[in-house]
Structure 1
Amino acid sequence: MKMNIMKYSEKISNKLNELLIKNYDAEKGYLKAIDTIDNDRLKMFFKRRASERSEFAKELRTEILRYGELPENAGSFKGIMHRNWMSLKSLFSSNNEEAILEEAIRGEEASLEEYNEILKDKTLPPTIDSLLTKQKNAIQASINTEKVHEELVS
């Protein structure tokens, strides 16, 4: 019995750690974007996204610790950005704000898919299920806002 509980908490923590790394990654991408662009409204949008992702990471770390597992450390994954943020890096050099925003939205859409994938797991404890749903809805809301307000860059 104890063995099953261990495996279960480890399984959940592994999933949460995957999301944790993606949130670190998105935060890094947004912070990099803030340094790269001049548009103040866009900087504000990226600042909000970066602090939101930082908050998500804190919440995920708390849950992982609650399961007696170790959360990934922001510094422990070798600074390699997730594929969704790779193309964003190349856009920085062009300083094309519209393209940077579109790429950021693509990154957020990929995050949504990852959240949806984990939320399909019907064995998640209710507390984690509701935390992930809350984070997913916040990401969705930011995408919706940006799609409506793409005039930010025009």
Structure 2
Amino acid sequence: MNYTENVSKKLNELLEKNYDAEAGYIAAKDNVKSSSLKNFFKERATDRYDFGHELKEEIRSFGEKPDKGTSLKGDAHRVWMNLKSTFSSDSDEVVLKEAIRGEKKALEDYNEILKEVDLPASTRSLLEKHRSSVQAALDYVKTIKDFA
């Protein structure tokens, strides 16, 4: 596998995780009562949708083909989250905990790819921008949870 294919493969894995996160945020929005949380999760879903399109363009810039769709693991996690929030008396807190867990994992995923020494400047810049947004969302969710 050449370098371009290797980077594209990693970006495709990140793309799939962003599809999962987008779907997860949509599910989270549907599982909370608070209108401010609904708005927050809707905004995060939009961010992840946008991240997906940016990643697709970056993958195409390497002459590679972007993957489509969510992962089975992500689909199963959303079903689990829906069940937990359905049977929980405090579904907002349950969903916030899952959002924190998901954002921490997203940061790990971005940091792992950013460890690559030879990333093209456009790829590095894009991933750093995404990572900053994920970090800001994580910080915000942690703050909300602390006040909940």
Tell me if both proteins adopt one fold, taking TM over 0.5 as the criterion. Answer: yes
Question: What's the counterpart of residue 57 of structure 1?
Answer: 52
In the alignment, the residues of structure 2 paired with residue 128 and residue 34 of structure 1 have an alpha-carbon distance, to the nearest angstrom, of 30
Residue 90 of structure 1 pairs with residue 83 of structure 2: yes
Question: What's the counterpart of residue 125 of structure 2?
Answer: 130
CA contact (8 A) 2:99 2:141 kept: no
Q: TM-score, normalised by structure 2?
A: 0.89
Question: Matched residue of 1:56: which SS?
Answer: helix
**Residue identity in the other structure for 1:93:** T
Match of 2:31 among 26, 36, 42: 36
Identity of aligned residues (%): 42
Match of 1:108 among 103, 111, 130: 103
Q: Deviations over 1:90-131 (max 9, x none)?
A: 323225211111111110100000100110010111110111
Question: Matched residue of 2:74: which SS?
Answer: coil
In the alignment, the residues of structure 1 paired with residue 62 and residue 56 of structure 2 have an alpha-carbon distance, to the nearest angstrom, of 10
CA contact (8 A) 1:36 1:92 kept: yes
Q: TM-score, normalised by structure 1?
A: 0.85
Question: Matched residue of 1:132: which SS?
Answer: helix
| CA separation of 1:78 and 1:22: change in aligned 2, threshold 3 A | closer
- For structure 2, the 5+ residue unaligned runs are none
**Which structure 1 residue ranges, 4+ long, deviate > 4 Å from structure 2?**
77-80, 82-87
In the alignment, the residues of structure 2 paired with residue 81 and residue 36 of structure 1 have an alpha-carbon distance, to the nearest angstrom, of 16
The equivalences for 1:3-14 within 5 A come to 7-14=2-9
In the alignment, the residues of structure 1 paired with residue 85 and residue 67 of structure 2 have an alpha-carbon distance, to the nearest angstrom, of 28
Question: What's the counterpart of residue 3 of structure 1?
Answer: none
CA contact (8 A) 1:84 1:110 kept: no
**Residue identity in the other structure for 1:72:** D
The equivalences for 1:13-32 within 5 A come to 13-32=8-27
- For structure 1, the 5+ residue unaligned runs are 1-5
Residue 81 of structure 1 pairs with residue 56 of structure 2: no
Question: What's the counterpart of residue 121 of structure 1?
Answer: 116
Q: Deviations over 1:13-45 (max 9, x none)?
A: 000000000000000011112222221111011
CA contact (8 A) 2:20 2:71 kept: no
Cα shift at 1:85: 4.9
In the alignment, the residues of structure 1 paired with residue 92 and residue 100 of structure 2 have an alpha-carbon distance, to the nearest angstrom, of 12
Residue 142 of structure 1 pairs with residue 137 of structure 2: yes
